[in-house]
Amino acid sequence: IRWKDFSTVDTWDELIAKAAQRAKSGMKWARSSSSESGKRNVNILCNEKNPRAVHLAQTSIRNAGLNSMVSLSEGDCFDWDLSGSNAGDVIEGRTIFVCNPPWGLRLTQDIDESWVSLREFLRREAGGCESWVLSGNKDLTKILRMKKSRTVVIKTADEDLRWLQYHIFKKSEVAQVLS
């Protein structure tokens, strides 16, 4: 191992053991419920338009043993209504929406339409929350018509990508800003 202050394999084993313990206690907390609200501490809601990706995600969720925490829906995010069976799952200030819309490398069909759907979904369902959007195309992010709060540059394979953070205002806050 090439690590500046690495001393022994025992050090590495100790780090691995500590990480495993943190992961175990984190999952215990995630699967438990809040004493105040009675709701589970972590509830992951997913939506995917591509049926093949949905199948792959369902298999991964099941294999990871996360069925009780992860709910996956299939379809366009424009049609994804969180006020129905998922009512109460979006908690203002505690909910983070993580999105990976198509940006042109693999998926090239209906790209603009997907970004418009994402914009409308976030405006309708994510008020008072934050969103992180992965993009490899700066022009497509303009479709969201939102001001980013933060950018984190990452490189994967030969692609330069950006995680873009957006704080999404509630409708009443947007109206106050505009007036």
Of all helices (H) and strands (E), which one includes residue 140?
A: helix 138-141
In this prediction the pTM is 0.72
Mean pLDDT of the chain: 84
pLDDT digits (tens, 9 = 90+) for 21-60: 999 999 898 888 878 877 778 888 888 888 999 999 999 9
Identify whether the C-beta of residue 166 lies closer than 8 Å to the C-beta of residue 144: yes
Return d(Cα 32, Cα 28) in angstroms, integer: 6
User: Does the structure show a pLDDT above 80 at 177?
Assistant: no
pLDDT digits (tens, 9 = 90+) for 79-112: 988 876 665 677 777 788 888 888 766 656 678 8
Q: How far apart are the first and last CA of the chain?
A: 59
pLDDT band at 157 (very low <50, low <70, confident <90, very high): confident
What tokens appear for 65 in the block? 């043993």
Q: State the sign of the Cα–Cα–Cα–Cα dihedral 18, 19, 20, 22.
A: positive
CB 161: neighbour CB atoms within 10 A?
Answer: 18
